[in-house]
């Protein structure tokens, strides 16, 4: 803290440097310029690690593979960019898994509330054979899914009132909060169960929707709330950690099929390396972002175990409806992978 109650406002935490790029140069198999569209801003772990992905490919091909990264949803939102991959009008994108359940329905398991209690559990699940099966299941869709990485634990923000309980979401005497959700039925169910008025909307439209009061709030990881400047239009934050959302780095199948197998292998490897770096950056950003938001005037509510339990209870109906549809067996497999990390 500086004098006069001022608190240092940094643009980013002390971030780990990207791992050194090693491995030999891949033989010349032609030159490719690849366009990659992102939803998030330049300061996000998603963007920083995508630049690292670009650096790996540039160095290992002596510049023959160039990745041009377009941040800030400027090429479209998650859903639109995946459609562009299918038609081949865009080469790469990096959506939340929640936006991709229309391609691979099993991905909806990740949308279940309070399923993955720790980041270690989430990482173990994302690195499991089961998760690889989900990536493989994109086959035939026109999309080549390369790797999971971390979007992160979602937290509620809003402009109406401090939220400490599901009752504060529902409002009781006042109207329920209108909360923007991703275009995903499980997320809709979560916020309906809490008594909110959920409004699915593309991420790129969210800032102005909140600014204009079209919605009261939204939910995203602290890092996204900070790097998207949502604190400018949201006074209250609550540390709900209600869903852990993965990202999926993906390429147009058309682009993939044009690449020499040696390039394909390199891209797959670089995707995994950059995902590891992204997960690290995301972890470094997480609590730091919450503290920065607080320093910038957002009133943050931290929840104790009993308060979290109240949210967990409120969203139980989501499991009753969705667990059978997503698959009880898949969910228990995820739970056992998660539990194994707790015993380590
Ligand atoms: C959302 C997601 C997004 C990402 C990214 C912007 O709320 O969490 O932040 O998928 O594309 O829409």
Residue 10 resides in a domain = no
Measured from the CA of 151, which atom of ligand 1 is nearest? Answer: 8
Same domain for 303 and 182, yes or no, is: yes
Residue 95 near ligand 1, beta carbon < 6 Å: yes
Give yes or no for residue 152 CB within 6 A of ligand 1. no
**Complex confidence, ipTM:** 0.98
pLDDT of residue 2: 46
Residue 1 pLDDT grade (very low, low, confident, very high; cuts 50, 70, 90): very low
Asked whether residue 75 falls in the same domain as residue 47, the answer is: yes
Does residue 114 fall inside a structural domain?
Answer: yes
Atom of ligand 1 nearest to the CA of 203: 12
Task: Give 327 or 12, the one with higher predicted confidence.
Answer: 327
pLDDT of 280 reads 97
Arithmetic mean of pLDDT, 306-327 = 98
Tell how far the Cα of 342 is from the centroid of ligand 1, in angstroms: 28
Handedness of CA 223, 119, 284, 74 (dihedral sign): negative
Residue 344 lies in a domain: no
Number of other CB atoms surrounding residue 2 within 10 Å: 8
Separation of alpha carbons 117 and 230, rounded Å: 26
100 and 231 share one domain: no
CB of 202 shorter than 6 A to ligand 1: no
How would residue 5 be classed by pLDDT, with cut points 50, 70 and 90? Answer: very low
Name every residue whose Cβ is closer than 8 Å to that of residue 89 and which is 6 or more positions away in sequence.
none
Best mutation site among 81, 200, 203, 209 for ligand 1, i.e. most ligand atoms within 8 A of its Cβ? 203
* Across 13-17, 34-38, 52-56, 184-188, least confident range: 13-17
Main-chain dihedrals φ then ψ at residue 93, nearest 5 degrees: -155, 180
* CATH code, domain carrying 310: 3.40.190.170
Q: Are residues 255 and 109 in the same domain?
A: yes
Number of folded domains that form the chain: 2
Cα dihedral value 111, 113, 118, 123, nearest 10: -10
Q: Which helix (H) or strand (E) holds 146?
A: strand 143-153
* Region of poorest pLDDT, from 11-25, 82-96, 265-279, 301-315: 11-25
- Tell me the pLDDT of the chain averaged across its residues: 96
Is the C-beta atom of 263 inside 6 A of ligand 1?
Answer: no
Give percent helix, percent strand, percent coil of the chain, each to the nearest 5. 45, 15, 35
Are both 43 and 140 inside the same structural domain?
A: yes
Q: Ligand 1: which of 82, 107, 210, 220 to mutate, judged by most atoms within 8 Å of the beta carbon?
A: 220
Distance CA 161, CA 299 (A): 10
Helix (H) or strand (E) holding 72: none
- At a CB cut-off of 8 Å and minimum separation 6, what does 84 contact? 37, 75, 76, 90, 93, 252
Is residue 145 included in any domain, yes or no? yes
Give me the pLDDT at residue 269, please: 98
Query: Residue 53 sits in which domain range?
Result: 32-150+245-290
For the stretch 171-187, pLDDT in tens is 988 899 999 999 999 99
Instruction: Please report whether residue 277 resides in a domain.
Output: yes
């Amino acid at each position: 803290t500086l004098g006069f109650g001022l608190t240092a406002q940094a643009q980013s935490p002390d971030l780990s440097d990207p791992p050194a790029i090693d491995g030999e140069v891949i033989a010349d198999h032609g030159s490719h310029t690849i366009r990659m569209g992102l939803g998030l801003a330049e300061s996000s772990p998603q963007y920083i690690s995508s630049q690292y992905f670009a650096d790996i490919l540039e160095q290992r091909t002596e510049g023959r593979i160039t990745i041009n990264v377009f941040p800030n949803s400027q090429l479209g939102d998650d859903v639109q960019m995946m459609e562009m991959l299918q038609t081949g009008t865009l080469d790469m994108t990096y959506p939340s898994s929640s936006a991709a359940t229309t391609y691979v329905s099993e991905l909806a398991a990740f949308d279940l509330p309070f399923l993955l209690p720790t980041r270690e559990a989430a990482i173990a699940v994302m690195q499991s054979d089961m998760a690889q099966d989900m990536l493989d299941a994109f086959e035939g869709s026109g999309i080549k899914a390369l790797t999971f990485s971390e979007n992160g634990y979602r937290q509620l923000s809003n402009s109406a009132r401090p939220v400490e309980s599901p009752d504060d979401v529902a409002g009781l005497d006042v109207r329920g909060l209108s909360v923007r959700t991703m275009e995903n039925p499980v997320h809709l169910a979560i916020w309906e169960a809490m008594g909110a008025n959920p409004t699915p909307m593309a991420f790129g439209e969210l800032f102005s929707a909140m600014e204009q009061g079209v919605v009261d709030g939204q939910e995203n990881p602290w890092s996204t709330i900070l790097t998207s400047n949502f604190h400018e239009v949201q006074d209250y934050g609550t540390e709900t950690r209600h869903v852990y959302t993965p990202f999926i780095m993906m390429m147009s199948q058309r682009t993939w099929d044009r690449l020499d197998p040696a390039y394909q292998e390199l891209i797959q490897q670089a995707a995994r390396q950059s995902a590891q770096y992204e997960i690290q950056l995301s972890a470094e950003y997480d609590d730091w972002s919450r503290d920065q938001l607080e320093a910038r005037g957002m009133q943050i509510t931290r929840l104790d175990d009993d308060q979290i339990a109240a949210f967990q209870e409120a969203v139980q109906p989501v499991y009753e409806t969705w667990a059978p549809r997503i698959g009880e067996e898949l969910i228990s497999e995820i739970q056992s992978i998660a539990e194994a990390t707790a015993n380590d």
